[in-house]
Amino acid sequence: MEYSLKDTIERVGMTLIDVKVKDFKLTFDIDTGSTENIVFDFVSNQLSDVFKPIDGSTKVFGIDGNYKENPCVEAELTIGDKSFWVQFNAVNANQTVINLQNDFGFQLHGILGIPFLVENGCIIDFKNKLLIIGE
């Protein structure tokens, strides 16, 4: 499956992708430098019927540069016509989200990092501005 990143790369310089979680449309960044999949805790808290807690926690460096222990959750995401079960660290990044919203006019809900990209055989084609999933 191919997903166009053209608009978001050209508009805000980020590889953003729209995902659906049940009936909710969320925006995630595709980040090849993130060693974890991240959902911001305001999202997982508000959608607690969708983002289910799982055993354990993980320590990660957050967007704010601090090393913190975060709870783990999982949810089923839909991208295009494909569904994926994804495990996330639920991270507080409220100020970063506010800054992005003020600077670029969109709200970021999380990050799909290396675990998602590897697990689903993803390729980011920057020349053609495409995310290729599982081809």
Strands, DSSP E only, in 1-63?
A: 2-4, 16-21, 24-30, 38-40, 52-61
Domain boundaries, the chain: 2-132
Look-up of token digits 């909710």 = 24
Superfamily (CATH) of domain 2-132: Acid Proteases (2.40.70.10)
Q: Determine the pLDDT at residue 57.
A: 64
Residues of the chain falling short of pLDDT 50: none
Tell me the C-alpha distance between 114 and 133, whole Å: 13
What's the pLDDT score for residue 101?
Answer: 85
End-to-end CA distance of the chain: 7
Tell me what pLDDT residue 66 has: 72
Position 50 scores a pLDDT of: 95
